[in-house]
Amino acid sequence: MRNTLYYGDNLPIMREHIADESIDLVYLDPPFNSARDYNVLFKQARKDENQAQITAFTDTWQWSKRRYEEFFDDPRNAKLFDLMESLYRILGQSEMMAYLVMMAPRLLELHRKLKPTGSLYLHCDLVASHYLKLVLDAVFGPLGFRNEITWKRTFAHGNVGRNYGDIVDILLWYTKSGNYTWNQPYKTLTSQQIEAKYPHVDADGRRWQSVTLRNPGPRPNLHFPFTASNGVTYQPHRNGWSCNRERLELYDREYKLHFPAKADGALRLKMYTDESPGERLQNIWEDIPPIGAQAAERMGYPTQKPLALLERIINASSNPGDVVLDPFCGCGTAVVAAEKLGRQWIGIDITFIAVDLMINRLASNFDLKREKDYDVLGDPKDAYSARKLFEESPKQFEIWAVGLASGIPQPEKSGDRGIDGKVYFTDLEGKLQWAVCQVKGGHLTPSVIRDFGHVIEREKAAMGFFICLNKPTKGMCNEAEELGFFTIGRRRIPRLQIRTIKELLEEGRDFAFPEGYSLKSGSGKKNLVAERDQVEMEL
């Protein structure tokens, strides 16, 4: 299998491109707008609310009767029919019901893609977790449930009013069978925790704790007297020893037995801290902190999860070489963790900003290049598919086109003001320069280029890159020439450059830069959002 990033809706992608029983581990963090008022999520939809919509960084789901009917039209969904019908009677045409109808067929498809030894971890919050657990029980069967993990995702809130502070997320863990992959994870203890848990110290400085040798349940075959090397014969607990005679003799030879002060006391075992992998992990995770504002891994993506969280899940429920799938991969933390830990991976996302982030992150962290080290499928490969993207989603077309120029899409919150993206580059002296990008998919006139020239001047940009679907007119080219050149040394570069999507895709006509300059955003040193924020601060 080849590592792959997909752009598009994960449901048809999984059905058409991913083989059944080919995935070892699924992690998904599906979008959900829990920041909205709780009551709004259960409010009945108005008659005109008939389509579900999702855009980059927005996860508002609206009721869609069409989606509900399509779900029940599929005979493969028979096991879920009764559950979803019952939930519909309770929730009606609410956002919550729309969300569950969106999730149900995807969870069913993910179950089909898992190997018999596979696991699924669904990351959610307290608002939807109990509903999603019902859906997962219907898909995997109640016996497929393994655990509900609580992760402390943030610190205490000081502005809590008439409620308890909401500081946790939920991870629902299901397996396809009882024969699932499992590598016991351990919690690493701090120095203070080690001193408290291992209070005893040998003459050589080794710390240890005294643990019981009592069997937790009755074991008649392990009920025998044991004479230790100190000459004292010890009797077992009424349940029996926790191990056989050979193991007790081995402990004795290795000086690991803790002899009681009184002869009739209980024989115990010395457990050394340097021989313990740590404390077996429980289902409350408080040792993985949220991503801080100044953290090196921070991408600026609103739902980004810590790399350590994904590494823990992948280490516990997969082995090197296994295939990890994230169908809502966002900025790609699961993909990065899988690559770091030697797993194969598949990432899917419906927005180009997410796909661009992942491409840049893979380059930054591992020097991986698309098409060479992994595939990117679903993004336009020719002018025709680019035009189709523009017709379906102008904003997604804009983000994708800026990425073609190695640019960084501008955040929507900053306002457009004629700038769709920026390309940052530095000279040999390290001086920062930038070019502004503008993308147009519709009708073109010379006045568009004239106005873009004013944007370049206003932003004090070194250059301007104009990307368009249609071939520029002669008048547009003349307007571009009016802006003159960007000069360094003996070389002059047109300050306003026009390229069509066809040229960028088929002819390799990238934008020209002065000799000796290097792209910051194309170098793979930083991710797109973090670099944009840093450069804007420098400016």
Confidence at residue 304, expressed as pLDDT on a 0 to 100 scale: 85
For residue 126 the two structure tokens come to 């307290």
Helices of type H across 367-445 = 383-392, 394-404
pLDDT in single tens digits along all 539 residues of the chain = 799 999 988 999 999 999 999 999 999 999 875 544 444 455 554 443 333 333 332 333 455 556 556 666 666 667 787 888 889 889 888 888 888 888 998 999 999 999 999 999 999 988 899 999 999 999 999 999 999 999 998 887 666 778 888 889 999 999 999 999 999 998 877 888 888 889 999 988 899 999 999 999 999 999 999 999 999 999 999 999 999 999 999 999 999 999 998 878 899 999 998 888 878 899 999 989 888 766 777 766 677 899 999 999 999 999 999 999 999 998 899 999 999 999 999 999 988 878 888 888 898 899 998 889 999 998 888 888 888 888 888 888 888 898 888 788 876 645 567 899 888 887 666 678 889 999 999 889 999 999 999 999 998 888 999 999 999 999 999 999 999 887 766 677 889 999 999 998 887 667 876 655 556 544 333 444 444 444 444 44
Give the E-state strand segments of 213-304 in sequence order. 226-227, 233-234, 257-258, 268-272, 279-280, 284-285
Confidence at residue 528, expressed as pLDDT on a 0 to 100 scale: 42
Confidence at residue 38, expressed as pLDDT on a 0 to 100 scale: 44
Confidence at residue 57, expressed as pLDDT on a 0 to 100 scale: 28
Return the biggest CA–CA distance within the chain. Answer: 104
Spell out the domains of the chain, with CATH numbers in brackets: 4-32+113-185+283-377 (3.40.50.150), 191-279 (no CATH), 383-538 (3.40.1350.10)
Side-chain-side CA neighbours of residue 239 (13 Å): 10
d(CA 501, CA 379): 13
Q: Which residues contact 276 (CB under 8 A, 6 or more apart)?
A: none
What pTM, to 2 d.p., does this model score? 0.74
Please give the backbone phi and psi of residue 429, each rounded to the nearest 5 degrees, phi first. -90, 0
Compute the C-alpha angle 299/300/301, nearest 5°: 90
For residue 244 the two structure tokens come to 């056989």
Confidence at residue 276, expressed as pLDDT on a 0 to 100 scale: 81
Helices of type H across 239-351 = 245-253, 307-317, 333-340
Q: Which residues contact 357 (CB under 8 A, 6 or more apart)?
A: 299, 301, 330, 331, 332, 527, 528, 529
d(CA 286, CA 292): 15
Q: Are the CB atoms for 228 and 267 separated by under 8 Å? A: yes
For residue 390 the two structure tokens come to 């523009």
d(CA 181, CA 531): 38
d(CA 429, CA 435): 18
Confidence at residue 240, expressed as pLDDT on a 0 to 100 scale: 95
For residue 456 the two structure tokens come to 């370049």
